[in-house]
Structure 1
Amino acid sequence: MFINKIHHIAIICSDYEKSKNFYVNILGFKILNEIYRSERKSYKLDLEIAGEYQIELFSFPSPPERITSPEARGLRHLAFEVDNIEDFIKYLNKNNIIVESVKMDEITNKKYTFFRDPDNLPLEICEK
């Protein structure tokens, strides 16, 4: 088995302050980091659940309703942690699953990439 655990869930919201209030004040998630990305006119709020980093809450100006685009309102993608990203990509490729090129997260300096489930929903793998 390659997957260790769910790494994080990314959500794009339509109203940042309302969603922030819901996740922080109503559900009780702890804020780890909040960044405003002026070039994207977007907030990124990192939230902790039960001692683990689990939710990324994003805002974008006027996000469209979810169709299939990864930048639409709602669940952005589901991410899984793996020990070795290249080994897992080989495994996916052997199973005829197309994987995007590997990228490096500019904040964590960890490797990640995306692939799609059978319904074309975006899934991410992140190297431990």
Structure 2
Amino acid sequence: MYKPNFDTVHHVAIIGSDYEKSRKFYVDIMGFSVIRENHRPDKGDIKIDLKMNDETEIELFIKAEAPERVSYPEAKGLRHLAIKTNNIEEDIAYLSYQGVKVGELRVDEITDKKMVFFYDPDDLPIELHE
């Protein structure tokens, strides 16, 4: 019997509301490179494909009229994006220096690894996990 091989995330799609703020955050601060950018007036958005690494991309959709994200109480669906890091303290210092909202460093009670949440310009939670 066929067994699928689902072992790599190809991309994560994120919706932002402000082109300049989102592009600065994901390209200049996070360091993702632009693969392609498409202005799509028929869909009312701008789609920027970003390279995170050799296997994973971020699809960044800029849509000024998108509804606000439900955060508290949390709604069903994707909860957050988590990024692996090898030096969480330096990453926290860097993000804070860049003016990014960063939460309190804590230890994951299940994995016993350091973790912290920070937020993109639209308050999307992003986790750093060491």
Task: State which structure, 1 or 2, has the greater radius of gyration over its C-alpha atoms.
Answer: 2
Larger relative strand fraction: 1
